[in-house]
Amino acid sequence: TIPEFSFQIWFVLGLAVAAFISALVSREFRFTPVPKGMLKYSILGGGLMGIGGIVAYGCNVGQGLSGTSTLSLESVLATVSMFAGAAITVKWWDRHS
């Protein structure tokens, strides 16, 4: 039987399957291995985004989009922190790669 997922879960799964099929049909699909040493940074970044979502009481991007429009102090702080973290990471990555 088909699992009873919500519309959002099926939407994301359908989007991923459609993108995969489209890449196969257009012959643009390629598997690229993770560069040496990059996996630990990806795991660390994912973990920090998860912690940020918990601290921000929900989705990080949702906090930035919907909370900032209401001038919520927590949302403004979360949005500024996301931009600052991204800028610092890009500078660090440019220096070390």
| pLDDT tens digits, 36-93 | 788 888 888 888 878 877 776 777 677 777 777 788 887 788 788 888 988 998 898 7
Query: Two tokens at 84?
Result: 């600052």
Main-chain phi, psi angles of 49, to 5 degrees = -65, -40
- What is the predicted pLDDT for the residue at 24? 93
Whole-model pTM above 0.75? Answer: no
Give Cβ neighbours of residue 74 (< 8 Å, ≥ 6 apart): 56, 57, 63, 67
Give the integer Cα–Cα distance in Å for 63 and 77. Answer: 10
Q: Are 82 and 68 in contact (CB under 8 A)?
A: no
Contact indicator for 74, 67 with CB cutoff of 8 Å: yes
